[in-house]
Chain A
């Protein structure tokens, strides 16, 4: 019988070596420019070999909603709220100069002409680079958004402790 010798010091060093740096992003805003910045940082960090977690809450949840899906909430008040609060990565408004949609549409046109990826494209890249998406369950309920109206590929449905457990281990934590 052969036994493999394990040097604890070397094993620890190897573990520390292989442990990737971590980034967490809280995406509270549903503004197109802010969400875009969040995804640019997320994809950039993932390309640098970091492990990235994005925690979507409040208006940020609109970014991970399937377009055109209306709320399936049980009571009318939340259903109404879900109806008024349109979702979908492609329908997010600019934080400034939205001008009832015109400003945002012009900005998207400029971006397309310059071959700049928009929120939906950046989101695809993020998923491709194994960025983890967490949806906040409390605000999902509060805003009348049901799980089945979110995009596929949400890694977790969780709350503040999950976020903090992640953030505690991370080197970069941003609130957007």
Chain B
């Protein structure tokens, strides 16, 4: 999936990925897509919930097997 900015939160636990996302999204222009990579499974539910509350658009999720861990790539479109 296309993205304009990438945020690496590998190795970080809740609530750090969300906190970093909320800071990073401020640097984007409206319409740009932020890709957040995490190995915390909670992100699968947390990112859509964060988007719903903050009014940004959740575009989707990709899972990638990486050795013993799964990398979750979530895509958020800045909408406001």
What is the bound-complex CA distance between A40 and B15, given in angstroms? 6
Within 19-66 of B, Cβ neighbours of A (below 8 Å) are at 19, 21-22, 50, 53-54
Question: How many B residues touch the partner, as a band?
Answer: 10 to 19
Count of chain A to chain B residue pairs whose CB atoms are closer than 8 Å in the complex = 33
What is the bound-complex CA distance between A50 and B50, given in angstroms? 11
Instruction: Count A-side interface residues using an 8 Å CB cutoff.
Output: 14
Query: Could you say which residues of chain B place their CB within 8 Å of the CB of A48?
Result: 18, 22, 50, 53-54
Nearest-neighbour CB distance to chain B for A121, whole angstroms, equals: 10
Q: Are A44 and B14 in contact (CB under 8 A)?
A: yes
Q: Confirm or deny: B6 has a beta carbon within 8 angstroms of a beta carbon on chain A.
A: no
Nearest-neighbour CB distance to chain A for B37, whole angstroms, equals: 15
What is the bound-complex CA distance between A13 and B21, given in angstroms? 28
What is the bound-complex CA distance between A117 and B16, given in angstroms? 8
Q: Are B12 and A49 in contact (CB under 8 A)?
A: no
Q: Are B21 and A47 in contact (CB under 8 A)?
A: yes
Q: Confirm or deny: A116 has a beta carbon within 8 angstroms of a beta carbon on chain B.
A: yes
Q: Are A47 and B19 in contact (CB under 8 A)?
A: yes
What is the bound-complex CA distance between A109 and B1, given in angstroms? 38
Q: Confirm or deny: B11 has a beta carbon within 8 angstroms of a beta carbon on chain A.
A: yes
Q: Are B53 and A125 in contact (CB under 8 A)?
A: no
Query: Could you say which residues of chain A place their CB within 8 Å of the CB of B53?
Result: 21, 48-50
Query: Could you say which residues of chain A place their CB within 8 Å of the CB of B22?
Result: 47-49
Q: Confirm or deny: A161 has a beta carbon within 8 angstroms of a beta carbon on chain B.
A: no
Known: A47-B15, A47-B50, A117-B16; 12 extra A-B contacts, CB below 8 A, are: A40-B14, A43-B19, A44-B15, A47-B22, A48-B22, A48-B53, A49-B53, A49-B54, A114-B13, A115-B12, A115-B13, A116-B13
User: Which of A's residues lie within 8 Å of B, judged by CB?
Assistant: 21, 40, 43-44, 47-50, 114-117, 125, 129
- For the complex of A and B, the 3 pairs showing the least CB-CB separation, nearest first, are A47-B22, A44-B15, A48-B53
